[in-house]
Amino acid sequence: MEHEPGDWIPSKAQQTGTKEIQARMGSPVHRVSLGDTWSTQVHPDIESERYIQSFNVERLINILDGGAQNTALRRKVESIIHSDPEFSLKDNYFMTQNERYEAAVKRKFHLQTIAKRQGWSEGSPELYYSYRTLSGDLAFSIHMVFLKSLKSLGSEEQIAKWAPLCNDFQIIATYAQTELGHGTYLQGLETEATYDAATQEFVVHSPTMTATKWWPGDLGRSATHALVQAQLICSGARQGMHAFIVPIRSLQDHTPLPGVTVGDIGPKMGFHHVDHGFLRLDHVRIPRENMLSRFAQVLPDGTYLKVGSLQINYLSMVVMRVDLLLGEIIPMLQKACVIAIRYSVIRHQSSLRPSGPEVKILDYQTQQHKLLPQLATVYAFHFLASNLLKFFHSSYSAILNRDFSHLPELHALSAGIKAMVSDLCLQGTELCRRACGGHGYSKLSGLPSLVSRVTASCTYEGENTVLYLQTARFLVKNYLQVHGSLGSTSQIFLPKSTAYLTTPYQARCPAQKAADFLHAKLYTAAWAHVAARLIKDSAHHLQTLMQSGADWDEAWNQSTVLHLQAAKAHCYYISVKNFTETLDKLENEPAIQQVLKRLCDLYALHSILTNSGDFLHDGFLSGTQVDAVRTAYLNLLLLIRLKENTFCCLKKKRKR
């Protein structure tokens, strides 16, 4: 290259130095960090905050983990993962979608190698902690959904055949339910599985374009088999949705099998490491034994046999909803709270008084108002999901023994709680992002990725509005069982979650001052009142429409906004009641009980203020009482800010 007179020409030493800098800056992480090493030192502002704890942090961590032994095991797993450079996530934000997928596959199989070496079995706590430590940035998560569905819906013989193949990754499987034309409305799924008695095979077919399976993870590039949810047709009759294991790619060269069209759906808002795909089936034949048959089967001659109700085929969705709460959804808000609150004690901005020093932004009431209710919500949801998991395990054992009595309540609870948790975790995570100002807009803060990831949870495993309405059907049914037609009351026992519908209404809240609203029984009763009233109103509106000539379906559709409000209020009541019951079990931990009681109070009062119209509507609360709720709430913000550091427990528990 020719240089013009007067051009600056770098010396050889300068040229050499420039090349060295360029080489050093080759890594995208170094380009951002200017080559600085990653600091392991604790910021002095955070260190100072940790000196003012009023409780034993380690003990609270043990409680959150479910015991000291679980804490020790979790930390051991985290140490193994963090010390292995193969699991580094530092380059993630600089990778393309293809690179993210390939890195996730490598991490998955590297983890499998470590698991085999360490003796970690499939479904073990160690693998759960590994997944959490890696923020779920692993391939083949839907492969595990297939395995759980197999164990829920498959016979013992089917489990014995397919589970070892999954565990050893001799096959890679996916769960194919959602279609281009239908998602949460499972009865509308168009994929068909028609039984051919002459060959004892099912013919699985996508009859329309909208029957194309769309969105299953691990399907786009990876899966060799799919658990296809399809409408069963045998002996000329439709028997509803059932699950079928369908081979889709060759185990020799991974090419699509005859009759199979499969591929990746392309760029998405998030989950860039997952190969979400599409699947069309053109009269693909599979053996009769490939229909999962724990609760239903087709005999060689085409006779259809079932155990329990058809709704049992939805069990795999219930399993996933419960698992996702603690494994995928709640951790997004936990991490967002840790990031935003830590940022808020490091970031100094403006002064509280003229000529005073700049203060931590967490000292501003508005910042406390943004973040501390999210922290309280995280604790409320952790305990809520943990207790739902216990109820699920007891119900699931009964279901596998063909006792389906708890299934309706389990379905209603899992649907409503999944909808509420994902809705509020999305709102809270975005609020945490905005509370960090411009830095929250940078992907390197971690917050945008948390927001985009939790956004998906409002849709997958059931769109939230539809789930709320499924809960509402259960609530209306329970209400009408107790109260029958308008005005009448009959004696009947309801499930535990709706037993409050049988108690007399309390017309007015007895609170007289702000301190009264710090009594757990008072605000739990307040939420019970609002939930019961809204359920009553929705049921009465439904009956009134039917008495005016509308049929059930039309009347239901014309009252769904009321049903939605009722279901949300019911879920708030369940979450508040669950938090207070959790506190009752901590009477031997007075310091921890006290700090969690303040978070419980904050969660309950914030929810009342957010939905104050529902409490004012029938005069249960007066305007003066709402003012008292606000006074108690604002006092709690200051008290929690000055005396508690419960976010430290989330940091230590959720170390990334």
pLDDT at 483: 84
Question: pLDDT at position 4, please?
Answer: 43
Instruction: State mean pLDDT over 157-161.
Output: 97
Q: Comparing 1-5, 180-184, 216-220, 595-599, which segment has the lowest mean pLDDT?
A: 1-5
Is the pLDDT reported for residue 403 higher than 80?
yes
**Would the CA dihedral through 124, 383, 366, 641 be positive or negative?**
negative
Average pLDDT over residues 111-131: 93
Could you tell me which of 246, 253, 219, 217 has the C-alpha nearest to residue 230?
A: 246
How far apart CA 106 and CA 201 sit, in angstroms, is 37
Question: What is the percent of the chain with per-residue pLDDT over 90, rounded to a whole number?
Answer: 78
> What mean pLDDT comes out for the span 42-56?
87
Mean pLDDT within 209-230: 97
Q: Rank 11-25, 340-354, 389-403 by mean pLDDT and report only the highest.
A: 340-354
Largest CA distance in the chain: 101
Average per-residue pLDDT for the chain? 90
User: Looking at residues 344-362, what average pLDDT do you find?
Assistant: 92
Residues near 262 by Cβ (< 8 Å), separated by ≥ 6? Answer: 219, 220, 248, 249, 256, 277, 278, 279, 280
Mean pLDDT of the 103-119 span: 95
What's the confidence (pLDDT) of residue 261? Answer: 98
Reported confidence tier of residue 646, pLDDT bands at 50, 70, 90: low
Q: Find the range with the poorest average confidence among 13-27, 211-225, 314-328, 466-480.
A: 13-27
- Rounded CA-CA distance 636/607 in Å is 14
| pLDDT at 493 (0 to 100) | 81
pLDDT of residue 211: 97
CB atoms within 10 A of CB 304: 16
| pLDDT digit string, tens, across residues 619-639 | 999 999 999 999 999 999 999
Tell me what the mean pLDDT of segment 41-67 comes to: 90
Confidence of residue 656 (pLDDT cuts 50, 70, 90): very low
pLDDT at 506: 84
Alpha carbon of 281 to those of 213, 242, 286, 626: distances in Å? 9, 16, 12, 59
Q: What is the pLDDT of residue 450?
A: 97
H helices present in 348-503, as ranges: 365-400, 407-435, 447-456, 464-483
pLDDT bracket for residue 650 (50, 70, 90): low
| Number of residues written out for the chain | 656
Q: Give the separation between CA 25 and CA 39, rounded to whole angstroms.
A: 18
How many Å apart are CA 383 and CA 376, to the nearest integer? 11
How high is the pLDDT of residue 438? 96
For residue 486, what pLDDT band results from cuts at 50, 70 and 90? very low
pLDDT band at 35 (very low <50, low <70, confident <90, very high): low
Q: For 7-67, give the secondary structure using H, E and C.
A: CCCCCHHHHHHHHHHHHHCCCHHHHHHCCCCCCCCCCHHHHHHHHHCCCCHHHHHHHHHCC
Specify the DSSP class assigned to residue 186: G
Neighbouring C-beta atoms of residue 351, cutoff 10 Å = 11
Query: Region 340-361: what's the mean pLDDT?
Result: 92
Query: pLDDT tens digits for 248-286?
Result: 999 999 999 999 999 999 999 999 999 999 999 999 999
Q: Mean of the pLDDT values across residues 29-56?
A: 74
Task: Tell me the per-residue pLDDT of 497-552, one tens digit each, with 9 for 90 and over.
Answer: 999 999 887 899 999 999 999 999 999 999 999 999 999 999 999 999 999 999 99
The pLDDT of residue 51 = 82
Annotated catalytic residues are 461
* pLDDT for position 505: 78
